[in-house]
Structure 1
Amino acid sequence: MQKQTKSVLITGCGKGGIGHALAVEFQNKGYSVFTTLLAHEPRDHLTDIGITAVTTDVTSDEQVRSLREVISAKTGGRLDVLVNNAGICYTMTGTDTDVQEVEKMFAVNVFGPMRMVHVFHPLLIRAQGKVVNIGSVGGIVPYVYGSSYNASKAALHHWGNTLRVELKPLGVDVINIISGEIGTNILKRDRGRQLPDDSFYRPLAEEFQSHVRRTPKTTPPHVYAKSVVAEVTKQTSRIWFWTGATTSLVWFGDTFLPRWIWDGLFTREFNLAKLSST
């Protein structure tokens, strides 16, 4: 009998991002690749190279169920790998946070993966497959101005931890990818963001503007994707896989140093002492 081609579904595959790079790399490994995009996003970067792109909003029960029907029909009711990559970023001080913005972010970053697993778990169990959650070092350390985004990634990490234990008896593995600084478009949404006029952080208004417009030192998406796909396609993958710029430093600090070490480091990096002097 001919061996069935393995399949992967990757959410959030806009051009130039992590999902795009992962899709290309899985295709290079011989996988049948399915991806999701929002209705307004172009898809020729995927379809032109033979990757299936399905318009899907991971915050919609109806759209995710429709996606399952499409993939089930094409794969014989199996899915070898589900990559929960769709995500958005919200940058703001904890005290000035717009909770409605955070609710939108959690709907994508946390409830989206939960919905995907809820809908697709029968296909994953049938294939004895893997769930891959794209996390972040932001979910590990108190990165300033990222309290809400950090919280969404920490929630994803810990949901994945329990999901791993629950799915193991059913033959499905769960992998948390702890991503460092990767060169993607996720920061574009925040580039025009400003502190409120009545914020206690107004003395740092210029520093905040510089932060949201920054161009950090990053790992290119295709390099990141190679490391992730190489790990995921192993027979036995690590349950937490750290990859990308800064992850070695964060792993070492989180593993061996007291947690308060980050307080002083980020206070200096973000010039927070300026608040006390004013």
Structure 2
Amino acid sequence: MTQPKKFALVTGCGQGGIGEALVTEYSRRGLHPIATVLPHESSDHLSKAGITFFPLDVTIEESITQLKASILELTGGRLDILVNCAGIAYTMTAIDTDVAAVQRMFDINMFGPMRMVRTFHPMIIAAQGTIVNIGSIGGIIPFIYGSSYNATKAALAHWGNTLRVEMAPFQSVLLPVISGEVRTNILKSDTHRTLPEGSYYSPLAENFKKHVLRTPEGATDRFKYASNVVAQSIRSNPPAWYWYGSFTGLTRFLDTFGWRTVWDSIMWKMFSLQTLKQAHVNQAKKTV
């Protein structure tokens, strides 16, 4: 007897991102991928690939409700895999944070998955399916200039950890992915960002500019990343946490065996904080 085709819904499938790579891989493995893109976002790359897609804004309840109606019609009420991939970045020092911008990021990165799970959990339970949350080593490492983004990913990891336990009685599983550096265009909307005038971090303004314009060295190819994540997501018993991507090995080791401040000296050197300290000391001397 032929097994019914499985459906995988992936949020955040704009061109050049992880979501696009994931739906491509699900298609390659014989599943029926369902992609979402923002209503104003181009979908040509999905049309050319023959991938089913729908518009979605994870911050708007009505948008999610409309998507649910479309998915119900398409799948008959079952959803085998839900991948919460939609996300944005916000690069800034913790002390210079624009709270309104961070609220928007939380609305997408954290509350978006919450809304999706609340809406689609009956379909996932019906299929004894899997929820995949795309997390980051940023939720573990005190990565400089990424405090707010890190906070969204730390929150997603810990919310998901409880969700995993709560879904177990329904024979549904959660796969939290702790992603390393992956070569995507997530920073495309952040490249304009500069330190505010008068910031205590102004001595590192050029370093900050280079940081937001960087292309991460040694980053994992997004299609290779997708191949490994998809392989885990279709297992009947995936790991409680799945670490994959550049620098995840080191991160996992130090997070497991290192002391709580093990990253401090690494960040200090990586982001030239000694230069900042000396500049602050010199400025203090001038004002005495």
TM range (shorter): over 0.9
CA–CA distance in 2 between the matches of 1:64 and 1:9?
12
TM-score by length of 2: 0.95
- Aligned residue pairs: how many? 278
The equivalent of 1:31 in structure 2 is 31
CA–CA distance in 2 between the matches of 1:112 and 1:132?
13
The equivalent of 2:147 in structure 1 is 147
TM-superposed CA distance for 1:215, in Å, is: 1.0
SS in structure 1 of the partner of residue 94 of structure 2: coil
SS in structure 2 of the partner of residue 188 of structure 1: helix
SS in structure 1 of the partner of residue 242 of structure 2: strand
The equivalent of 1:81 in structure 2 is 81
SS in structure 1 of the partner of residue 133 of structure 2: strand
CA–CA distance in 1 between the matches of 2:120 and 2:150?
26
Tell me which amino acid in the other structure corresponds to 1:210: K
The equivalent of 1:98 in structure 2 is 98
Q: How large is the Cα RMSD of the aligned pairs? A: 0.8
The equivalent of 2:239 in structure 1 is 238
In the alignment, does 2:254 pair up with 1:253? yes
The equivalent of 2:285 in structure 1 is none
CA–CA distance in 2 between the matches of 1:73 and 1:277?
63
CA–CA distance in 2 between the matches of 1:212 and 1:267?
18
Tell me which amino acid in the other structure corresponds to 2:201: Y
Which structure 1 residue ranges, 5 or more long, are not aligned?
none
CA–CA distance in 1 between the matches of 2:276 and 2:18?
36
TM-superposed CA distance for 1:49, in Å, is: 2.1
CA–CA distance in 2 between the matches of 1:233 and 1:253?
29
TM-superposed CA distance for 1:46, in Å, is: 1.1
TM-superposed CA distance for 1:47, in Å, is: 1.8
Tell me which amino acid in the other structure corresponds to 1:18: I
CA–CA distance in 2 between the matches of 1:242 and 1:233?
16
CA–CA distance in 2 between the matches of 1:133 and 1:75?
21
Superposition pairs of residues 1-278 of structure 1, within 5 angstroms: 2-217=2-217, 218-278=219-279
CA–CA distance in 2 between the matches of 1:223 and 1:175?
18
After TM superposition, what 4+ stretches of structure 1 lie above 6 angstroms from structure 2? none
TM-superposed CA distance for 1:235, in Å, is: 1.8
TM-superposed CA distance for 1:276, in Å, is: 1.6
Which structure 2 residue ranges, 5 or more long, are not aligned?
280-288
For the pair shown, the structure with the greater C-alpha radius of gyration is: 2
SS in structure 1 of the partner of residue 239 of structure 2: coil
CA–CA distance in 2 between the matches of 1:274 and 1:213?
21
Tell me which amino acid in the other structure corresponds to 1:233: I
TM-superposed CA distance for 1:52, in Å, is: 0.9
TM-score by length of 1: 0.98
CA–CA distance in 2 between the matches of 1:198 and 1:189?
24
TM-superposed CA distance for 1:3, in Å, is: 2.1
SS in structure 1 of the partner of residue 25 of structure 2: helix
CA–CA distance in 1 between the matches of 2:276 and 2:46?
47
CA–CA distance in 2 between the matches of 1:269 and 1:2?
55
Residue range with higher mean Cα deviation, 113-122 or 188-197: 188-197
CA–CA distance in 1 between the matches of 2:260 and 2:47?
46
Structure 1, residues 111-134: CA drift from partner, whole Å, max 9, x if none? 000000000000000000000000
SS in structure 1 of the partner of residue 135 of structure 2: strand
Structure 1, residues 16-61: CA drift from partner, whole Å, max 9, x if none? 1100000000011111111110122111211222211101100111
